[in-house]
Amino acid sequence: MSNNKIDCYFKKRCSQDSTSSPILETSSTVISEASPTKVQKLDQDSNCLNIERDPGLRKPIWDYSIDERDKIRRAYLKAGPYQGIPKYSLQHVNRHGRRPSTKFGVNAFTSDGFQSWKRVNDGKICSFLIHEGSTPNSSHNKAVNQCHDLLNPLQHIERIIDKQSTKIVAKNRLRLKVSIDVVKLCAFQGIAFRARNERVDSHNRGNFIEILKHTASYNNEVSLAVLENAPQNASYHSPQIQKEILSIYARKIQKFIREEIGDAKYCLIVDESRNESKRKQMAIVLRFVDKDGFIRERFFDIVHVEDTKSSTLKKEISRTLAHHNLDIQNIRGQGYDGASNMRGEWNGLQALFLNECPYAYYVHCFAHRLQLILVATAQSVIPVEHFFSYVTVIVNLVDSSSKRHDQLQIAQAIRIEELTSTNELKTGRGKNQVGTVQRPGDTRWGSHLRSLRSLLGLFDSILLTLSEIINDKTGSSPKATADGAYDLMMSFEFVFILHFVIELLEMTDDLCEILQYKSQDILNAMDAVTNTKELIQKFRESGWDDLFDKVKIFCEKREIDIPDMSAPRRSGRGRLRKENPIILEHHYRVDIFTSTIDSILQEMNYRFDENAVELLRLSSALDPRDGYKSFNINEICTLVEKFYPKDFNDHENTAQ
């Protein structure tokens, strides 16, 4: 205001220049033609509000509602300066505290009116200059700044709050977007989210936070919005937020799978196990044919269960399917493991679903069946069961520490050098590599074969390692266990069962590969099952002599005592049976060789029953590969008539 001329206070404005001051947001102000002392405020609804320009006569600002005061002030300011009248009424002065201070004459420019015109041109004591003040913090200058702010819409408090809110929302969205991307990455890679220590001073705060930090290091905007730069109430990286984002992803995926299935028939694949926290849970997988004719197999849900009873599993599966509007009547196949709670004919899970849906045929996983056959055989033949327990002890003994592992490899290198020097072992590139014993897996048939092959190949090296453990002078080695394992390996029965089981496993090795990696080729799998049965039966009938000769040669090279097969067999306690003593040949040939083979054949016939095999064989006629090469109309008709008669009406059956 100090740069303005004095006469600006006395100029009357007949109109408001659009460029002189900001236009009001909701109204326009003009000088009323009827009364030059009144300003007419026109709002959007064209309602007229007469505002008195004379400060002594106008309605006090305090009599307006709080929401209208700023708009009224802007109307006065847009009208510009107004020349005062010598006398003003002091009405309403005491009712509102509008006086800026208690000094004499302070109300001249507000309510009383200015009369000291002789002091206008009185140099430094000019009333206007004194009123204006010499410092930026004077009452006049403060009022001027407040007027400028009031006329500037960008400085209004609601605009400032809205602007700040917009920035906060943008940062929150950016922070949440980064967290969503990191959750998606961790979930897709199947890696753990959290670490044991996620505090700021930790060197490894877990995959989620470390990936978040790495992402922020490449973008300054992200860096200023996440982790320690985020507000405590909106950090969006807590474990609860991670789980919530994962659950949203899960629901979206389940919705997509449900839409993909539509009204089609589907197969149910279920397996139950315990997680790391020892909680029992059940995984549900759905297999179906989509609208384009492609076979899809989707992991659908994982459900916590209180126990593994068939009734409990049935209830949880039904509830999950009903939640996603999947009809149980559309189930056309069940795939579970071979446990009694799953495959039970009366109260098993498959039987409970069959009671509601007669076409939900149960098919046990073929690869898993082989493992169950091995387990059932080991449990039914006592010497074979003892053998596998001995193998576990030996493997753990020679491979449980780095020291013994090194001893085994040194012993093997010495043995290879001895055999190559006597030309008993062929040399060449890639041959005679120093290896180690392998541990058998609990759920894979082929792992037992690899374990026993490594045990047979390292037989002499393992004996040498056991001897070193027995003769160890430090006193820290399990000498007694090593001595017992050494005696077992030097026994004829251990060597016999080792060779015998390897022969059996090699016969089923091809079948194992087919069932594990070529399960889509149903006909090939069925032929492999039949061929394996025939091969084992032939081995039972004519394989004894070759097996015994092989074992005999092996024992002679290692100076292992070969018992007289015609001698009577002693009982487990070293005493002869008083009644009906049996000879050793009967023990090895009948009690071990024949009994084990018969047990395997019996289990294979039971596990691979004819009904399931026929269902799979007929279904192979629908295999779309190679241009429907396996398509066979007769087998398809048989499949419909025998297994799914009610899925087709009379007209469709007649058309066949």
pLDDT digits (tens, 9 = 90+) for 121-170: 666 667 777 777 777 777 778 887 777 777 776 666 666 666 667 788 88
- Res. 549: pLDDT tops 90: yes
The phi and psi torsions of 612 (rounded to 5 degrees) equal -65, -40
Sort 515 into a burial class: Cβ within 10 Å, 0-12 / 13-18 / 19+: buried
- Res. 86: pLDDT tops 60: no
pLDDT in tens, 572-616: 554 555 555 788 899 999 999 999 999 888 888 777 767 777 787
Cβ–Cβ < 8 Å for 115, 86: yes
For 325-346, b where at least 16 C-beta lie within 10 A, e where not — what string?
ebeeebbbbbbbbbeebbbeee
**Can you give the pLDDT at residue 253?**
92
In 545-640 the beta strands, taken as DSSP E runs, fall at: none
**Can you give the pLDDT at residue 494?**
93
The phi and psi torsions of 190 (rounded to 5 degrees) equal 65, 40
pLDDT in tens, 195-239: 888 888 888 888 888 888 888 888 888 888 888 877 777 788 888
pLDDT in tens, 445-481: 557 778 888 888 888 888 888 888 888 777 666 888 8
Mean pLDDT of 249-276: 87
**Can you give the pLDDT at residue 606?**
76
Alpha carbon 506 to its chain centroid, in Å, reads 39
**Can you give the pLDDT at residue 547?**
93
DSSP state of 583: B
**Can you give the pLDDT at residue 44?**
37
pLDDT in tens, 288-340: 988 887 888 899 988 888 888 888 899 999 999 999 999 888 998 888 877 77
Sort 544 into a burial class: Cβ within 10 Å, 0-12 / 13-18 / 19+: middle
pLDDT in tens, 17-42: 433 333 333 333 333 433 444 444 43
| Distance, CA of 297 to CA of 299 (rounded, Å) | 7
More confident residue, 211 or 83: 211
**Can you give the pLDDT at residue 516?**
60
The phi and psi torsions of 39 (rounded to 5 degrees) equal -105, 130
**Can you give the pLDDT at residue 457?**
84
**Can you give the pLDDT at residue 350?**
86
- Res. 550: pLDDT tops 90: yes
Residue 434 banded pLDDT, cuts 50, 70, 90: low
- Res. 47: pLDDT tops 50: no
Q: How many Å is the Cα radius of gyration of the chain?
A: 47
More confident residue, 94 or 485: 485
Q: What is the pTM of this model?
A: 0.57
Cα dihedral across residues 638, 644, 645, 648: positive or negative: negative
More confident residue, 21 or 360: 360
**Alpha-carbon separation of residue 177 from 182, 225, 226, 281 (angstroms):** 9, 11, 11, 31
Cβ–Cβ < 8 Å for 414, 464: yes
**Can you give the pLDDT at residue 252?**
92
| Distance, CA of 431 to CA of 528 (rounded, Å) | 32
Cβ–Cβ < 8 Å for 83, 9: yes
- Res. 2: pLDDT tops 70: no
Q: Which of 254-263, 271-280, 330-339, 422-431 has the highest mean pLDDT?
A: 254-263
Nearest to 268 by CA among 332, 344, 205, 195: 332
pLDDT in tens, 369-417: 666 676 667 668 888 888 988 888 888 888 777 777 777 777 777 776 6
Mean pLDDT over the full length of the chain = 75
- Three-state DSSP state, 194: coil
